[in-house]
Structure 1
């Protein structure tokens, strides 16, 4: 349900401002939420209904006064309006408080949406944020105070929010990584000296005796 409010200072007394607002026929002169209001002889007061048309609609609707506190508070509520996307119920409220040099007026618009229209709540809120400050200035002009001062535009916005989702627990911090170890320089191993194994002492060949000349080895044999 979008709700938009704007505060405006009007240099007129509270009585003058309230009397002008309480007459629903004056709404079509300055308020963008009302297109036309039919003539009615009923005096202003709680429970009084007026025939009006919402902007963009071609059927008559009822605009009922649901709150009436003279000099302080005034609320009008329109009929529920249906369309293929859902329903909309407008509510217009005016809250007045006296100031030293005039009246502080708070204009509040509520759009009670149903059905698929709830998806268009941001669009509805954007439109009222644009139009409500203009309406406040037009009201000042109708009351003979063209230099009214818009204090807040807008004061408050309420939109249907998503379902509450609990916050996820914070993830544990990853363990600190050790600094990388620099690679060791690769060096070619020095070649080892090759040692040829010698003969085993047990297998060493026996020394051969010195050769004797054959002439000396032979002994002279006696002749036969």
Structure 2
């Protein structure tokens, strides 16, 4: 049988699940930024109002000894500085979003036009991403493979070596090249050659694998 090759693209590990996680992180940062901006603006505004409303001071009038004008100017300056900081952070968030969109588009173009099969699976072996080459070589659409186990289509006699290669990749950062059989949609078996690599490490445990 003809041996087919599947390559890893760890440097382009921007599968949809990974991108979504980054977007959620950015959205949380954006939410906290706007919440802080509103709270600080309200507090500073109340500080300004407190100088202008006599009823808020003892004996119903603002103390004459305080340089009220300078104090108000200082508070207004703080409001403006914080607003400038908020705008700057929003521009940074917009820049990051644009870069992520460009990287995701680049990853999509690479994987959809690559002759090799490219897959991203999580640490439990569930498929997160499958390139269109899977349909050309094995007959499965990406939708049919989505969220299935990476072992479902692997020949029972070859599963142990695939799992062993994954463990080695965890230890050394890249897996050895192995040959194993995968089931075509028509029920026949195809010999494949692949190598895996972990990415998205958290406390020495890979979040996802690409192969």
Say whether the fold is shared (TM-score over 0.5): no
Larger Cα-atom Rg: 1
Structure having the larger proportion of residues in helix: 2
Structure having the larger proportion of residues in strand: 1
What TM-score do you get using the length of structure 2 for normalisation? 0.23
